[in-house]
Structure 1
Amino acid sequence: MSETQNKELAKSYDPASIEAKWYPFWEQQGYFKAGLEEGKPSFSIQLPPPNITGILHMGHAFNHSVMDSLTRFYRMNGYNTMWLPGTDHAGIATQIVVERKLEAQGKNRRDMPRDDFVNEIWKWKEYSGGNILKQMRRLGDTLDWDRLYFTMNDDLAKVVVDCFVDLYEKGLIYRGRRLVNWDPKLQTSVSDLEVEPKEQDGHLWEIRYPAADGSEGVVVATTRPETMFGDQAVAVNPEDERYKDLVGKKLKLPLTDREIPVIADDYVDKEFGSGCVKITPAHDFNDFEVGKRHNLEQVNIMTKTAHLNDNVPEKYRGMDRYEARKAVIEDLKAQGLLVGIKPHKHMVPLVPRTGEVVEPMISEQWFLAMSKPAPEGSRYPGKSLSDLGLEAVQENLVNIFPEQWQKVYKDWLSNIQDWCLSRQLWWGHQIPAWYDDKGNVYVAHTEEEAQQKAGEGVKLHRDEDVLDTWFSSALVPFSTLINDPKAFDIYLPSSVLVTGYDILFFWVARMIMMTRFFTGRVPFKNVYIHGLVRDAEGNKMSKSEGNTLDPLDIIQGVDLESLVKKNTTGLRQPEKAPIVERKLSKHYPEGINEIGADALRFTMAAYATLGRNVNFDVKRADGYRNFCNKLWNATRFVLMNIEGKDCGLDPNAPMEYSAPDQWIWSEFERTVQEVRKAFEDYRLDNAANAIYSFIWNQYCDWYLELSKVQLNQGNEAVQRATRHTLVTVLEQTLRLAHPIIPFITEELWQKVSVVAGVRSENSVDSLMVQSYPVYDPAKVNTQADMTINELKAMVDAIRNLRSGMLVPPSKKVPLAISSRDGEARARAEKLTPYLQTLGRLEEVIFTDDLETVRPVGSAAPVAVVDDFSLMLIIKVDVAAERERLNKEITRLENEIAKANTKLSNENFVKKAPAKVIEQERSRLASNEQLLASNKEQLSKLPQA
């Protein structure tokens, strides 16, 4: 063990030094490596590989806190564990980042050879990917670093090619000319899932399409008049009586010399607008389907940069789509064909990464058939990929939590479209297809194989497109294990996938389909869907909002100036910088204090309610920093009171366990039971809350105070038992909390474990590999529970009496206790030392009648606790006490009236859970008792 590990426990909690010490130690000891022992249960998680586009964000911090806590929990429970790390090449996202970086240097990607640009991205990958891995270590992630993968590594790239070729040869991948989402800025297709509709204020332009025979024709309404040059028809509803005579006739297409037909199709809503719709098959997804039904031509009028091409009248050629819109509107006005303009809110499809409006465009692309049955010779002949995805959830091979996401998943797969696989990018897995000069395609594992298929001497060129990033990501459950048969058998399927709902379709569904298709296994048994991390007000975190946070800034602290710089550098709209600065100054006027990795992890665990969005508040993280400090100081107290003393390690030494000792063990065991269940149910919020409540409320606030009485006043056997209980409960508590707050618990355990006799001082050992506490019902002592609950109620009552009578904390006063029950009085007498210490009492007097000890003229109030009446023997202001009692009586009467109203409501009694009704009745009875007591005290006050 290193010298630093043997140092005395520092006076104050310093997260930075602790984190710097323990992570390297754990890694050097090999604790993160995947377990491969036969006969042991296994637990594993595939890390959703972060993109190499910068740094981890708060969503990653949340996700990683959950995953690492689960991994540590199962590792301590003796499972073979593996948390598999990796990073994703993130085609579009990474290319955008590097293009912007080059633009800042005055360079343009399109002016560079492809290989040079790709080399620039590899340089970025080494820089950014390295930063991401450092952040993971700072968070305490116990990932098996020996298995770290990158989705563009050679071994994974080989699996991508193999799978593509296999799907192609089975007839499931094909090349076709279809309508796709096109990003004019990136000049690539993007998937439906990468398009985010956003409501915008726009216009509905009403345009007259005259009839070819010279009659009036029809009026159509459109939000995109510039696409009219691609119109192939005007459609009406077949049930619309207004236009029945027009169906089959011709209309003049405005601003052109073309004529187009009127067609009837159920797609048209006869109640919307004029009931007439222009059909542009090459620039609208709905129109594309209508066009197929009516054999309409698909005429593309846009270039890849969304400028009008040579398929439009000469005047408009080369115009940007928005420039063309203005020109078309002006020309329609001039010809008297613009009937009207109406304000119109509509959904505009955007690519969030570029902010560009999507242009639906006919394009030659590679597609994966999602609903086509697999051929004979496949693992699942006759079943489509979507069938495999649906079966996995319907047959409970994969369980999705929370359950409401199962329906969303099934609905998407039931209506799935073929997957557009190709992207017109330079960064990614290049499609393994080669073409000859005649356009024949040869899909092969290598260029040599393609050449063999084409024949000797045939000149080939490779398809320049790359695969959608999600294709390679869909394969990682097996592509990352395929070269390690033992790990493959143990860890596929993995235990759980922890992810946000935003990639349920992008990644989760596709992993299920592809893993089943290629391996016959599901990729994971459970899917834990969590919400997204937002700011404290529930707003999406983004630079434009001035509310993004770097997890490392939470861990190590950051000043306001640096926070502003991070959020304003690289803004898409630089003019927003002052607004961002104002927002940050409002929320973090003094920056963010150092919180530490443990407090951040605990915050995230406490937020981890299944399925809900997380509104992250730094103030809450500050509170958990205080919690860590509380645990630190509690440990210092324990060590100061037990080091060098008899802690009961000798089994022959007599120990006399008190009610507080037995009670704290009861509380601990119940907490163990609750925490274990929470981990097993993926409810880390419940685990964190139970741990917090036990450490802060029970161990620190009550047991430590009670132990002081026993250490100061008990005999040797009592003191020995107290010291033994203090340290053994603490040692077990550190084990209990370790998965969530690993750094501080390791640091404290190194000292506590020696004193507790768990390990020798010179051993090289770690809390990380100790056994996790198991619930022991034999240690639950209900009698001790009743005793301490009664003691706590009495102490609380005494403190309330002191507060109500404005007795300063430094002043000790006598307390009188009366009880009509002799057995109860005997119980209370045993609690006297604790009452005196915790209630700051001069003495405790037992009497049959409190009035016999009440000072003359005193109006001292009486508190009733179970069988006891308690009174501080102190003279008080009669008028003030009468006012206090009257206020309390009014409050209690109101509470009683509310409770009676609820309990007399038949609907409430029928529908409310039995536990809620019982609580309401118990509260009513308690308040009625308190009311009677207060009225009695009021009646005994001396008359003015």
Structure 2
Amino acid sequence: MTENTQPPASGPRSAPADLPTQYTPAEVEEKLYERWVERGYFAADAESGKEPYTIVIPPPNVYGSLHIGHAFEHTLIDALTRRKRMQGFETLWQPGMDHAGIATQNAVERQLAAEGSSRHDLGREAFVERVWRWKAESGGQIQGQMRRLGDGVDWSRDRFTMDEGLSRAVQTIFKRLYDDELIYRAERIINWCPRCLTAISDIEVAYQEDDGELVSIRYGEGEDSVVVATTRAETMLGDTAVAVHPDDERYAHLVGRMIDLPLTDRSIPVVADAHVDPEFGTGAVKVTPAHDPNDFEIGRRHGLPQLTIMDERGVITAPGPFQDLDRLEARSAVVAALRAEGRVVAEKRPYQHSVGHCSRCQTTIEPRLSMQWWVKVGPLAKAAGDAVRDGRVAIHPKEMSSRYFEWVDNLHDWCISRQLWWGHRIPVWYGPDGEVRCVGPDEEPPSGPGWHQDTDVLDTWFSSGLWPFSTLGWPERTPSLEKFYPNSVLVTGYDILFFWVARMMMFGIYAMDGVPPFRTIALHGMVRDQFGKKMSRSFGNVINPLEWMDAYGSDAVRFTLARGANPGVDVPVGEDWVQASRNFANKVWNATRFALLNGATTQGPLPAPEEMSAADRWILSRLGATVAEVDAYYDDYQFAKLSDALFHFAWDEVFDWYVELSKTTFLAGGRPAEVSRRVLGEVLDVTLRLLHPVTPFVTEELWTTLTGGESVVIADWPADSGFRDRAAEREIDALRQLVTEVRRFRADQGLQPGQRVPAVLDLAGTPLGAHEDAIRALLRLQPAGPDFKPTATLPVAGATVALDLSGAIDVAAERKRLAKDLAAAEKELAQTTAKLGNESFLAKAPEPVVEKIRTRQETARADIERIRTQLSRLP
């Protein structure tokens, strides 16, 4: 066999036991997982001599539960780490949870409100104790759900962002950044939630299209007047200028002059600023430096006053008739007053525009001038960008790199203080005479009369930005830090590329002497419903993965999610797909059970190729190619492609063809049957190991039964044997082509799958002569008798199959049935063609409706062609 290399060998295995007739996930999943944990399979040894492979879990919020996005992300991470563990790496999947400051505080405050209390009734210390109690009672829910999914994390290393060690890391880096003048305190515009009473990060702002009102207002009189437009009319009470573009000749005569501000006793200047777009609206904008981020920058450039006209709850504080009104009440009142004075030039209502809302409580965000703590991100962001540019960190897929650079290259200073009680309190003390002292973890804070600590806490992203190294014991140079930093890869969603990934990059490079926190950033998309729609409670399409796991098993959920995971692309999922994955798991189970019942074995070396049948050599050749293909996809983070390759190899080639061909061999007995039993054992052994990272439970149960091995978790990852047999592949491909074509013909003629038909096979001149028994068994073809009269002859793959259907079907009845189906298809074609030819219909109908009609039309055409072919083949 000139195209062969020696097939793989396998060492002795213990004798396999029988399997139950059905696979019931609920009966095996929990016990298997607990066995894995008890035996320490997931524990990472910092003293090991093995090459490390490290992944951190994107820490879920402590208050949460496992949602479909978690299940998706955890499946991908678990698949990577399980494979690397099987490849012999010292593998650490670092678990943990985030304290989720604002969300957790809100959750506990809701509990208190239900009890008729508030955090202010308790006081800060008692409230924080209450949150810790809540965390102990309710916060571990997600850990149990992670176990359900099969997450192979090292539970002995479980971390929480407010653990003592991680808190020490937070205080250490704050102190270092402060001493390096990279942390400072200043008044700036921030996102403020009037309900949560805190600054919030950009990622906690949810933008949505709201119906508002666009009001055009005339400032000043006559030729010296200017019209500006706003959706927040109440903020005009804080205007300190009107800005126009320096090159806008329409307003050149007004620049530097003062104009009256309506409803107030103030006059404000007209300033020229390049930020203004002269093509937008009237080309003039109102400037409210204390209540708009762009206006704040204009105000700084022109030295404008910063007038705060509302308090932290969004209540107007500006003296006058609008004082003490809520901001939204004031908006209507201000517009009414302007209208009464004839100042309203135009009103557009409703005016749909994008408005920021607090993602926690849905309150409209208020840009607010506030004294806050900030990180000076310039040098940190440059280092984070350089690490990707110079190749120390790879972003996958590559096209996402431009989005990363767009962010880090234009990053503004980061507001890190939050007006909360739950979180890492800012380690800064203020003295009675204006002293400010930042305290490190090993320093005593100042004491004495008048000294007090800053009341704010740090943004949650500050502590989670330290996650890749704080979880390993930093700032101490622990064995774990030396072994497992930097992380091998970060697997996370593209939606937090800017907010979490960029912060980890900045902090990791800064704290770890220029070493980035990971070598690769593998970005995935968001999980959507089966129609590609974003999941939302309001849409009623939110998926609870636990319900699917209860119904179909964790492997089915995992396989469905992995099979949809193309890098950086959103993932649609539907219950039908999980059912299909459950069917696949059942197919794997039944095929392995068949193999065991027929004596398939993994004991001893594989027979020599010359002892093997073409089917044996074909499946081993395909097995080697599949191993190579799966390895390449794993290395490129192509989870969908590797899952699809495994599905089609296992189902289409192993189960549908090799197992079926083996039945004939097993029935015949003798040495060929012994050879095929060993080959089938080898194929299933390797296939189960290949499937294990994505479907860990069913493969563990099957592999240990098949091989007698301790656990597939610690089994060797399959290597490509290098065995290829192109001649065998061509031979079996010809067999598959012949069987498939005749099966299609049988189906077209309305024959039942098990119905036997007399046939004559002419296989002369083809490599199929040795397969006649298998072909007849697969196609339910019986030998031709003396009365054989061929009613159909099919030339396929160089062979000829002659069939006698005279006694198999009622030709007249079949012709009548097909004629009826043809008439229905022709009617459908006529109706859809008429609709698509109607210009009025095409102009008015929504595109999805039109597309549905087009699909129906194409289906009708295909049906007509198929039915006519069937009629022509009838005897």
For the aligned pair, the TM-score class normalised by the smaller chain equals 0.7 to 0.9
The CA deviation at 1:809 is: 3.2
- 1:471 maps onto 2:451 in alignment: no
Q: Which amino acid aligns with 2:191?
A: N
- 1:145 maps onto 2:155 in alignment: yes
Stretches of structure 2 that go unaligned for 5 or more consecutive residues are 1-14, 826-864
The residue aligned with 1:584 is none
Which digits, 9 at most, give the CA deviation of each residue in 1:191-225, with x for residues without a partner?
233323322222221222224xx866222221111
1:728-877 aligned at under 5 Å gives the runs: 728-754=682-708, 759=709, 765-778=710-723, 780-818=724-762, 822-824=764-766, 827-843=767-783, 855=789, 860-875=791-806
Q: Is the Cα–Cα contact under 8 Å of residues 689 and 699 in structure 2 kept in the other structure? A: yes
The residue aligned with 1:641 is 598
The residue aligned with 2:650 is 695
- 1:459 maps onto 2:459 in alignment: no
Identity score, percent: 44
- Partner Cα separation in structure 2 for residue 142 and residue 492 of structure 1: 19
The residue aligned with 1:87 is 97
The CA deviation at 1:8 is: 4.7
1:643-658 aligned at under 5 Å gives the runs: 649=604, 656-658=611-613
- 1:241 maps onto 2:249 in alignment: yes
For normalisation by structure 2, the TM-score amounts to 0.88
For normalisation by structure 1, the TM-score amounts to 0.82
1:87-486 aligned at under 5 Å gives the runs: 87-211=97-221, 217-309=225-317, 312-343=318-349, 344-371=351-378, 384-445=379-440, 449-451=444-446, 457=448, 459-481=450-472, 482=474, 483=476, 485-486=478-479
* Structure 1 pair 941–741 and aligned structure 2 pair: CA distance change class (3 A): closer
The residue aligned with 1:24 is 34
Q: Is the Cα–Cα contact under 8 Å of residues 853 and 873 in structure 1 kept in the other structure? A: no
Q: Is the Cα–Cα contact under 8 Å of residues 390 and 410 in structure 1 kept in the other structure? A: yes
- Partner Cα separation in structure 2 for residue 883 and residue 457 of structure 1: 98
* Structure 1 pair 233–728 and aligned structure 2 pair: CA distance change class (3 A): same
* Structure 1 pair 449–792 and aligned structure 2 pair: CA distance change class (3 A): same
Q: Which amino acid aligns with 1:284?
A: D
Stretches of structure 1 that go unaligned for 5 or more consecutive residues are 372-383, 557-593, 760-764, 846-851, 892-930
1 or 2 for the larger relative contact order (CA 8 Å, sep ≥6)? 2
The CA deviation at 1:266 is: 2.1
The CA deviation at 1:652 is: 9.9
Q: Is the Cα–Cα contact under 8 Å of residues 602 and 707 in structure 2 kept in the other structure? A: no
Q: Is the Cα–Cα contact under 8 Å of residues 656 and 718 in structure 1 kept in the other structure? A: yes
Residue 538 of structure 2 aligns to a residue whose secondary structure is: helix
The CA deviation at 1:798 is: 2.2
Q: Is the Cα–Cα contact under 8 Å of residues 492 and 522 in structure 1 kept in the other structure? A: no
- Partner Cα separation in structure 1 for residue 316 and residue 339 of structure 2: 20
The residue aligned with 2:507 is 514
The CA deviation at 1:706 is: 0.8
Residue 214 of structure 2 aligns to a residue whose secondary structure is: strand
1:660-671 aligned at under 5 Å gives the runs: 660-671=615-626
Q: Is the Cα–Cα contact under 8 Å of residues 224 and 254 in structure 2 kept in the other structure? A: no
The CA deviation at 1:881 is: 8.3
- 1:631 maps onto 2:588 in alignment: yes
* Structure 1 pair 156–736 and aligned structure 2 pair: CA distance change class (3 A): same
* Structure 1 pair 739–652 and aligned structure 2 pair: CA distance change class (3 A): closer
The CA deviation at 1:485 is: 2.6
* Structure 1 pair 690–543 and aligned structure 2 pair: CA distance change class (3 A): same
1:714-729 aligned at under 5 Å gives the runs: 714=669, 716-729=670-683
Residue 511 of structure 1 aligns to a residue whose secondary structure is: helix
- 1:620 maps onto 2:551 in alignment: no
- 1:551 maps onto 2:545 in alignment: yes
Q: How many residues align?
A: 809
* Structure 1 pair 692–771 and aligned structure 2 pair: CA distance change class (3 A): same
The CA deviation at 1:39 is: 4.5
Q: Which amino acid aligns with 2:702?
A: L
The residue aligned with 1:531 is 525
Q: Is the Cα–Cα contact under 8 Å of residues 245 and 283 in structure 2 kept in the other structure? A: yes
Residue 831 of structure 1 aligns to a residue whose secondary structure is: helix
Q: Is the Cα–Cα contact under 8 Å of residues 496 and 524 in structure 1 kept in the other structure? A: yes
- Partner Cα separation in structure 1 for residue 93 and residue 77 of structure 2: 8
* Structure 1 pair 881–862 and aligned structure 2 pair: CA distance change class (3 A): farther
The CA deviation at 1:366 is: 0.5
- Partner Cα separation in structure 2 for residue 167 and residue 417 of structure 1: 17
* Structure 1 pair 649–263 and aligned structure 2 pair: CA distance change class (3 A): closer
- Partner Cα separation in structure 2 for residue 238 and residue 752 of structure 1: 80
Residue 316 of structure 1 aligns to a residue whose secondary structure is: coil
Q: Which amino acid aligns with 2:464?
A: S
Which digits, 9 at most, give the CA deviation of each residue in 1:78-108, with x for residues without a partner?
1111101110001111112222222222222
The CA deviation at 1:635 is: 1.4
The CA deviation at 1:813 is: 1.9
Q: Is the Cα–Cα contact under 8 Å of residues 307 and 320 in structure 1 kept in the other structure? A: yes
- Partner Cα separation in structure 1 for residue 74 and residue 104 of structure 2: 22
Q: CA RMSD in A?
A: 2.8
The CA deviation at 1:651 is: 8.5
* Structure 1 pair 154–412 and aligned structure 2 pair: CA distance change class (3 A): same
Q: Is the Cα–Cα contact under 8 Å of residues 193 and 506 in structure 1 kept in the other structure? A: yes
Which digits, 9 at most, give the CA deviation of each residue in 1:816-861, with x for residues without a partner?
2346xx532xx3332111011111111269xxxxxx9972xx6x23
The residue aligned with 2:857 is none
* Structure 1 pair 237–636 and aligned structure 2 pair: CA distance change class (3 A): same
Q: Is the Cα–Cα contact under 8 Å of residues 17 and 596 in structure 2 kept in the other structure? A: no
Which digits, 9 at most, give the CA deviation of each residue in 1:118-160, with x for residues without a partner?
1221122123331111111111111011111100001110110
Q: Is the Cα–Cα contact under 8 Å of residues 105 and 422 in structure 2 kept in the other structure? A: yes
Residue 517 of structure 1 aligns to a residue whose secondary structure is: helix
Residue 32 of structure 1 aligns to a residue whose secondary structure is: coil
- Partner Cα separation in structure 1 for residue 590 and residue 443 of structure 2: 69
- Partner Cα separation in structure 2 for residue 522 and residue 650 of structure 1: 46
Q: Is the Cα–Cα contact under 8 Å of residues 817 and 844 in structure 1 kept in the other structure? A: no
The CA deviation at 1:655 is: 9.3
- Partner Cα separation in structure 1 for residue 530 and residue 874 of structure 2: 51
Q: Is the Cα–Cα contact under 8 Å of residues 112 and 119 in structure 2 kept in the other structure? A: yes
Q: Is the Cα–Cα contact under 8 Å of residues 639 and 752 in structure 1 kept in the other structure? A: yes
What is the aligned counterpart of 1:606 among 549, 558, 563? 563
Residue 324 of structure 2 aligns to a residue whose secondary structure is: coil
The CA deviation at 1:167 is: 0.6
Q: Is the Cα–Cα contact under 8 Å of residues 664 and 774 in structure 2 kept in the other structure? A: yes
* Structure 1 pair 528–654 and aligned structure 2 pair: CA distance change class (3 A): closer
Residue 314 of structure 1 aligns to a residue whose secondary structure is: coil
- Partner Cα separation in structure 2 for residue 446 and residue 706 of structure 1: 70
